[in-house]
Structure 1
Amino acid sequence: MVALDAMEKTATFELWQVELNDFLGTCIKIRGAVDQVSTAIDAGYSVAERMQGNPFRSVISQLSSGGTKGIESRVEFNQLIQQNVVKLPTPASNHTSDDRANSVSKVSVQALGFIETQGFTAVFEAIDTACKAAQVEVVGKEKLGGGYVTIVIRGDVAAVTAAIEAARPKVDGLGKLVAAHVIARPSPSVLALLP
């Protein structure tokens, strides 16, 4: 989500699909003009590297129809983690840069916070602390496999920041903190993929 937000704030493209894999990776598939896609991919790659991820990137110009059939996936529900592992954006997330600017301004005072842990007990303690620390709302929970769980909260920037900062130390001793991050003014594509 953090990489996608940076991508959409850097370039204009269409979000195609997001696909989770069994190795806790996420594949963000986008399409559009080659220069815009390249700029977006570079921005997302940089963010993933800064977050100690192990990102890979590829830009395919003039994708063949045969290639499209191999890359595009059907929406798929994983029984083990009880959620979709192939996600399509809502129609509202595919818009022009003018539409995007207007949409972002509607949520300019909003923020999203992410707490990702390895271990349910840790994430439950963290989210309870976050909700007690500030006026935030839980948007949803995503199980990523391997005991990895992400909880997403929203509210104004100050509240979400305070909630995430209060929650971060609660993970110690209960599990492993994978990530704790705040996105101010989340992009439309990020909002379209929320759980």
Structure 2
Amino acid sequence: MVILDAMEKTGSVRVLQAELNDQPGVCLKVVGPLGDVQSAAAAARQMAESMHVASVVDVISAPHGDAPLAYQAQPDFNPLFSQATVQVPVTGNEKEKVVDQQAGFAVGLIETQGFTAVFEAIDTALKTASVEVLAREKLGGGYITVIIKGDVAAVSAAVEAGKKRVEGLGKLIAAHVIPSPSQGVISLLPKL
């Protein structure tokens, strides 16, 4: 989500899909004018490096007409994780109306390795500030991300408090606040 937000705020790109891979990670697929995709790819690489996350970034210029058959995955559900492994952006008037009505919110993410740590982190976050839990995503390898929503100050305070609670209970993988998330991030959120 953090990398996608940086990509969309850098270039005029649109997310096609986010697909979980076999490692604790996600393959983000975006389209747009070549220069914008290249700028977005550079932003993705830079954001991944700043977060100390390994990444593979590639730009395919002028893909062959049959290429989408290979890179656009069919909807898929993993019963082990009890969630979709291919996320397709939600579009349409209903989603746009909800987003317009809620301008100015922030999204916070707390990712841990271990359930106990993430449960304690979110309980602490909810007790610290007025935020709402949007989702809990299992990424494999014991990695769990919880996504929260609220105003920027509340989400910042909640993420900071949750981050501190993880110590001694599990491993903090990442914690981040996205103020005014991009359309692609909004389109992949489980609920608003």
Task: Please tell me the TM-score bracket, short chain as reference.
Answer: over 0.9
How far off is 1:141 after superposition?
Answer: 0.6
Gaps of 5+ in 2: none
How far off is 1:106 after superposition?
Answer: 5.5
* 2:20 is the alignment partner of 1:20: yes
Matched residue count: 188
How far off is 1:92 after superposition?
Answer: 4.2
Q: Which residue of 2 aligns with 1:34?
A: 34
Question: How far apart in 2 are the matches of 1:106 and 1:52?
Answer: 35
Tell me which stretches of 4 or more aligned residues in structure 1 moved more than 6 Å: none
- Report 1:160-171 matches (<5 A): 160-171=155-166
Question: How far apart in 2 are the matches of 1:27 and 1:67?
Answer: 16
Q: Are the equivalent residues in 2 in contact too, given 1:107–1:185 (CA < 8 A)?
A: no
Q: Are the equivalent residues in 2 in contact too, given 1:107–1:186 (CA < 8 A)?
A: no
Q: Secondary structure at the match of 2:62?
A: coil
Q: Which residue of 2 aligns with 1:191?
A: 186
Q: Which residue of 2 aligns with 1:96?
A: none
- One-letter amino acid of the structure 2 residue matched with residue 188 of structure 1: Q
- One-letter amino acid of the structure 1 residue matched with residue 152 of structure 2: V
Go from structure 1 to structure 2 and tell me whether the alpha carbon gap of 1:90 and 1:104 turns closer, same or farther (over 3 Å shift). Answer: closer
* 2:116 is the alignment partner of 1:121: yes
Question: How far apart in 1 are the matches of 2:10 and 2:52?
Answer: 21
* 2:93 is the alignment partner of 1:109: no
How far off is 1:108 after superposition?
Answer: 4.3
Q: Which residue of 2 aligns with 1:57?
A: 57
Q: Which residue of 1 aligns with 2:70?
A: 70
Q: Are the equivalent residues in 1 in contact too, given 2:117–2:171 (CA < 8 A)?
A: yes
1:9-37 superposed Cα distances (whole Å, 9 cap, x missing partner): 11112211111111112111011211111
Q: Please point out which of 154, 157, 161 is paired with 1:159.
A: 154
Q: Secondary structure at the match of 1:169?
A: helix
How far off is 1:104 after superposition?
Answer: 7.7
Q: Please point out which of 129, 136, 156 is paired with 1:134.
A: 129
Q: Which residue of 2 aligns with 1:89?
A: 89
- Report 1:135-150 matches (<5 A): 135-150=130-145
Question: How far apart in 1 are the matches of 2:10 and 2:151?
Answer: 23
Please, what TM-score do these two structures have when normalized by structure 1? 0.91
How far off is 1:91 after superposition?
Answer: 2.0
1:152-191 superposed Cα distances (whole Å, 9 cap, x missing partner): 0010000000001111111111110000110000111101
Cα RMSD (Å): 1.9
Please, what TM-score do these two structures have when normalized by structure 2? 0.92
- One-letter amino acid of the structure 2 residue matched with residue 33 of structure 1: P
Question: How far apart in 2 are the matches of 1:176 and 1:128?
Answer: 16
- One-letter amino acid of the structure 2 residue matched with residue 54 of structure 1: A
How far off is 1:67 after superposition?
Answer: 2.2
